[in-house]
Amino acid sequence: MTTFANTVSTREAYQLLKDVALEVRTLKPVSSSDEQMVVDIDGWQVTLSTCGTALECCLRCIAPDNRQGSLDTWQRYGTNPLDLMSLWERTQLQRLVHAAFVR
């Protein structure tokens, strides 16, 4: 698999989301709509697609150094960062994301 220096890889985005699920990193709400939530995770900006209360996929991830990864980039390799998460990790992430927007 080829990774470009200016791209956030699927694995990088997954590790970031996993760290939130494990509560190693914290997230802050940025904005939300009916189908998307944008969160800040230690300077990373992550856009998540939602369907009701469920997280569907990670649409975009922007690193503090301006590297970006998106669903279009990741789909070339057939992997969405949320698909790499265990059921427990994904449930935890979903709970934490929704809790951040309720406050």
Domain boundaries, the chain: 10-102
2-32 residue pLDDT tens: 445 689 999 999 999 999 999 999 999 999 9
* pTM tops 0.85, yes or no: yes
Q: What percent of the chain has pLDDT over 90?
A: 72
Q: What is the pLDDT of residue 75?
A: 73
Q: What is the pLDDT of residue 6?
A: 84
Mean pLDDT for all residues in the chain: 90
At 27, list the tokens: 């997230």
